[in-house]
Structure formats: C-alpha cells, structure tokens
C-alpha cells in the first residue's frame, strides 16, 4: 500500500493533473471515478490506484493490476471534492485529420470546428453532446483549452474515448481539407442572415464554434461557406458556446431524421 505523498507515482499523478506540459511529455492523462474507469479501453490504461476504503469491485478492476493507496494520500492526489476511490493514468489516443475525414466519407458526416475555446467544462460538454448527436469528429486549433484538463475529461462523461478529435496548428488549412472532402462549412455569426432552422444541413456539414467572449476570428469566419444565426428572443446577442454547438448539431440530426412525406 502507498502511504506517503512522497511516493514517485503519487507525485507523478499530481503533476499530470496540474500541468498540461507533463501530460504532453508523457502522452498520458488522469481519469477519476468509477464511470470513467469502466469507460476507459483496457489497452489505454497505464496505472490504476484504489483508495484503501473503496468498496467498489468489478470484473474489470479484478483484471487490471492496481495499487492500494492510503485514504489521506488518495485525497491529495485527486482533483475532485468527493473522490470515488478509483483513479487511473491513461495513455492518450491519437487521431490524424486524415483519419477523421476518411471515417466520415461513408456516413454523411457532421463535424465541429472549435477555435480558441477556453472553458474546460464547455469543451467537455461539447464533446459529450457531439457523441449524442453522432458527430464524426472535432477539429480544434492549438489555442483551444487542453482536452485532457481534468475538468474537461470529467465533463465528457467518457465521450473522450469515443469521439475522434485533433488539434491543428493551422485551422484554416484544416477547413480547406474539409471543403475538399465535400463538406459545407457553417458559422453561427451576428451577420448571419439565415436562421439555422431554415438552412439545409442534410449534406456533409461542419459547424464553427468560437471563443466564449470573442466568438470566431475574422480569419475563420471568412472560411465559412454560409453564415447562419440561432434565433433568440430578448436582448441576447449570443448563447453559451456549448449550447450553440448543441443547437446546431441537433438541428442537423433532426433534419436527417425527418422524412419527406410520401
């Protein structure tokens, strides 16, 4: 049993939780809680830690090697207020933009293009929503928050293991590749003239999601084929980024599920 926070493994977990640089160097991140442990593919799990008082048992936990950790040490190595007693170090899964485009060719894809999003919870919610709406992949620029941030990981509720995503140094170039693949690109924008509820999303589509405070940059906005708007009442100019993404991808899903009469 690990009984001290001076243990090298414990120190490493704390570093992985706190520092994006450590996650990049080790190509690994931390997941906490029973649900995420059960969702994580076994081939990605590098280490498992279980608190001494944890009563959780499962076939999966019995199969993987794990370290017991004294309760007070476990509390110091977690990022949650009420830890469930299970914590894992997990290897990152890597996708390339070409992988995402190839996978989408046969299924009339919907993509999300995310630029400079800063809130970890927003990004996690977007990924979780993307899975629910059947999004084929998420493409982000390097200015977007680290998807392996512990708050983001928790917010995905396991979708991080199932929704393909990439970070691109040049988002404009990535958008060009989407267009070359026959994808129509839509940006929700104050200058949009067409309501998202009156715009045809039945073909291959990509929706642009921007920074919480500043929206999309002019450079990315200019890459869109069509500027659209989400109708709103009152004096609002915009919705939360994750909410906007949800409205758009689910409108696309609704359109694809709606059959023409006859």
Q: Which CATH number do you get for residue 233?
A: 3.40.1280.10
Q: Where are the beta strands (DSSP E) in 156-245?
A: 165-168, 184-188, 194-195, 205-209, 226-229
CA distance 136 to 103: 8
pLDDT at residue number 232: 85
* Domain edge (last residue) among 91, 119, 141: 91
Where does a domain end: 38, 56, 91? 91
Per-residue pLDDT, 233: 86
Which of residues 65, 91, 117 is at a domain's end? 91
DSSP character at residue 215 = B
The total of structural domains in the chain comes to 2
Query: How crowded is residue 238: how many other Cβ atoms within 10 Å of its Cβ?
Result: 17
Question: Would you state the pLDDT for residue 259?
Answer: 60
- In which residue ranges of the chain is pLDDT below 70? 259-262
Q: How far is CA 15 from CA 34, 140, 150, in A?
A: 21, 24, 12
* CA pair distance 109, 205, nearest whole angstrom: 7
Query: What integer pLDDT is reported at residue 262 of this predicted model?
Result: 41
Q: What is the pTM of this model?
A: 0.92
What pLDDT does 193 receive?
Answer: 83
CA dihedral 222, 226, 230, 232 (to 10 degrees): 80
pLDDT of residue 260: 52
Does residue 112 share a domain with residue 72?
no
* Angle of CA points 88, 93, 97, to nearest 5°: 155
Q: 165 is in which domain, residue-wise?
A: 97-257
Instruction: Give domain status of residue 1, yes or no.
Output: no
Same domain, 81 and 101: no
The rounded distance, in Å, linking the Cα atoms of 193 and 40 is: 43
């Amino acid at each position: 049993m690990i009984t001290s926070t001076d243990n090298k493994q414990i120190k490493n977990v704390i570093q992985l939780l706190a520092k994006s640089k450590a996650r990049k160097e080790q190509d690994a991140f931390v997941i906490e809680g029973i649900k995420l442990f059960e969702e994580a593919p076994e081939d990605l799990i590098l280490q498992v830690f279980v608190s001494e008082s944890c009563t959780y048992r499962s076939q999966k936990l019995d199969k993987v090697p794990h370290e017991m950790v004294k309760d007070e040490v476990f509390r110091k190595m977690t990022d949650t207020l009420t830890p469930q007693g299970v914590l894992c170090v997990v290897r990152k899964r890597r996708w390339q933009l070409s992988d995402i485009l190839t996978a989408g060719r046969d299924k009339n894809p919907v993509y999300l293009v995310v630029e400079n999003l800063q809130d970890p919870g927003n990004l996690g919610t977007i990924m979780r929503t993307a899975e629910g709406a059947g999004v084929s992949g998420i493409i982000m620029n390097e200015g977007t928050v680290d998807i392996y941030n512990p708050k983001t990981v928790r917010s995905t509720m396991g979708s991080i293991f199932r929704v393909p995503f990439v970070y691109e140094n040049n988002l404009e170039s990535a958008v060009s590749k989407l267009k070359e693949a026959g994808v129509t690109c839509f940006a929700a924008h104050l200058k949009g003239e067409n309501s998202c509820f009156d715009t045809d999303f039945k073909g291959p589509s990509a929706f642009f999601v921007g920074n919480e405070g500043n929206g999309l940059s002019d450079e990315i906005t200019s890459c869109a084929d069509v500027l659209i708007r989400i109708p709103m009442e009152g004096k609002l100019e915009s919705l939360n980024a994750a909410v906007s993404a949800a409205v758009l991808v689910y409108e696309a899903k609704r359109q694809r599920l709606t059959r023409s009469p006859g």
